[in-house]
Structure 1
Amino acid sequence: MLPRFAIVARHRPVEIVGTPLVAERYDDPRAQQSSTAALPLLAPFAAVESVARGPRRRHHREPGRTGRLPGFSAVLDQGRVRITIRSGAAETVHRSRRHGRTRRSPGRLALALTGTHVSALTFEAGSWVLRARVDLAGGHVRSPEWLAGLTASWSSAEPGAVTAWRAGTFGQAGAARHQAGDGGRRLGVPHRGRVGAAVGDQRGTRVLRHGTHLVVDS
């Protein structure tokens, strides 16, 4: 007779773009250097993600590329990630001194809007890494008129740097809050459990599979 089964874990895939409203893949990416699409939404939860071709040679410098929502940009340039915020003629640049530099060539770059937070993430070694985040002071991102006119776009410094991209509603990923306990670092999952657990270290905040908590041994 089989023993009684018990649930030991629940897992859901980490996806920055939850429901894609636009998706393009290029058969000949050498002809593509940018693209823009309408992205009307009812709530400020949006994301745009681009897939990189990657360096053509071992020591080839990766072309810079950018993901955009109106007024916000995630920029990857020479291994450094930053967020730019534009309001009228004014523009501010936000980067993390500790987490803003990638350790390897990212396969994907994403820009996410979650409420009043804008985040830039890179996909490295099979995981999403949070590289920069900005808490917006204004509340215009909740305006129905602004959301109805939302657009998403990407661009690159060289043609062929991006082979595919997609944009839509924000999916299941994000940053975790640090909590001490159990002889390690316990990382709670914010945003009503919709986001992935994440590990914060000197390499950035690494978004992992879903779970209620994740304990990292010291």
Structure 2
Amino acid sequence: MFEMKGINKTFAGRQILKDFSMTVPDNEIISIVGPSGAGKTTLLRCIAGLETPDAGTFLLNGQAFNPVEDHGRERKIGVVFQDFNLFPNLSVEENITLAPTLVTGQKPVEARQAVSELMASLGLAQVAKQYPYQLSGGQKQRVAIARALAMQPEILCYDEPTSALDPTLRDTVGQLILELKQRGITQIVVTHDQDFAQNIADQVVTVSPLGA
């Protein structure tokens, strides 16, 4: 179980998050929805350790947890970014194997074997040698998910996973998120798409701009 208690964050004198608390049960999908400026992305960045809250605490399985220090071999939080952040000069396979080999010290042969199984499960085996510019938006999304999963996180976070996709691909991504839940992966989805959130989530958390 992942818990956030009393999270506060201010930028340039403007408070974005105020005493925000949330509980994410194991193996559930939590959608965080709200309009632009409500603090959704800021919240995700705090969860991912990309921003440090001004105040508040995180707990993972009942123990104090600092996302900023979540790195190395046993990364707990994985993130799929809105723009995917794939390396354009690396193939699909290389994009996915880079972190396990560099960060965890896994041998390339072992990493490629694990990634091969992961790509097959996500329908990426046929594009393993292709480069990001050769992929569709949906394929790039799956590569980004595979890259995050390659680090075996306990929690997988998404920043607006459907923003660049057409309605058909949106449904495909939703199905993939539900399939990952069946594998026991806890997921947090930040989105402005209320319908998508309702279709995939066990719980929908709505955030609003402070003062609205």
- TM-score in same-fold range (> 0.5): no
Instruction: Please tell me the TM-score bracket, short chain as reference.
Output: under 0.3
Which has a greater percent of helix?
2
User: Normalising by the residue count of structure 1, what TM-score does the alignment of the two structures yield?
Assistant: 0.24
The structure where strand makes up a greater share of residues is: 1
Larger radius of gyration: 1
